[in-house]
Amino acid sequence: MGSREGSSVFAILPARSEGTMENIIAHGRMEFIRSKKPEGCVFCKKSIREECLVLFENEQVFILVNKYPYNSGHLLIAPQRHISGLEELTPEESAAMVECLHISVRILIEVMHPEGFNIGMNVGKVAGAGVADHIHLHIVPRWNGDTSFMTCLADTRVTPEDPVKTYEGLRPHFDDRCGGAKK
């Protein structure tokens, strides 16, 4: 995520001081912002995709645990094809993404018991997309008091669960629900 947040639903509130900023940004996000960007597309197979965090995939789409989560249980759904626009999705890819969304939400509710979700896409750099060339859908579970306005002001530290731990907790449920259909 760049400095231009656009209309992103994930925009982080401006900090009142440098010390406050450290507290409102999840550690994984800071790591991402500070890290040198690798070559290649992080969502493309045969590129540098984090295969170890893929929960499910078929020929159209895949579900990935976000290595740099905004919150615990942050998942991403993306088409296998390297496309940047929603309008480029085929009807089959669109249907597969929605189906993956339903499955992911159900499993997250069962396993992590969130009280709500932020679900959406940042399309284009101007809208805050970290990876603008390969469209992807964010599913961010929310709990009361996790990163709300009041807790930000109260300097409450946000520490999402380790993505590998999230993967290990969720993967058996995706295997059960999707018939172990990882290809």
Catalytic site positions: 136
Residues 132-151 that bind Zn ion (CB under 5 A): 134
With contact defined as beta carbons under 8 Å apart, do 97 and 61 qualify?
Answer: yes
43 lies in the binding site for Zn ion (CB under 5 A): yes
Stretch that binds Zn ion, among 15-23, 65-73, 76-84, 86-94 (CB under 5 A): 76-84
* Minimum CB–partner distance for residue 124 and Zn ion (Å): 15
> For Zn ion, which is the closer residue by CB, 136 or 160?
136
Binding to Zn ion by residue 62, rule CB under 5 A? Answer: no
Tokens describing residue 72: 């615990």
Is residue 131 a contact residue for Zn ion (CB under 5 A)?
Answer: no
Stretch that binds Zn ion, among 8-16, 114-122, 126-134, 162-170 (CB under 5 A): 126-134
Which residue type sits at 81? R
82 touches 133 (CB < 8 A): yes
Kindly report each contact of residues 3-10 with a partner whose C-beta sits within 8 Å and lies 24 or more positions away, as own/partner: 4/125, 4/126, 4/128, 5/128, 6/122, 6/124, 6/126, 6/127, 6/128, 7/127, 7/128, 8/122, 8/127, 8/128, 9/118, 9/120, 10/70, 10/118, 10/120, 10/122, 10/128, 10/138, 10/140
Contact between 54 and Zn ion by CB under 5 A: the answer reads no
Of 82, 173, 177, 182, which lies in the binding site for Zn ion, with binding defined by CB under 5 A?
Answer: 82
> 46 vs 179, which CB is nearer to Zn ion?
46
Residue nearer to Zn ion on the CB measure, 82 or 125: 82
Distance CA 119, CA 11 (A): 13
Q: Does 41 bind Zn ion (CB under 5 A)?
A: yes
Residue type at 162 in one-letter notation? D
Q: Which residue, among 147, 143, 77, has the nearest Cα to 115 in the 3D structure?
A: 143
Closest separation in Å from C-beta 90 to Zn ion: 16
Give the interface segment with Zn ion, choosing from 5-13, 35-43, 61-69, 166-174 (CB under 5 A): 35-43
Choose between 26 and 135: whose C-beta lies nearer to Zn ion.
135
Write out the residues near Zn ion by the rule CB under 5 A: 41, 43-44, 82, 134
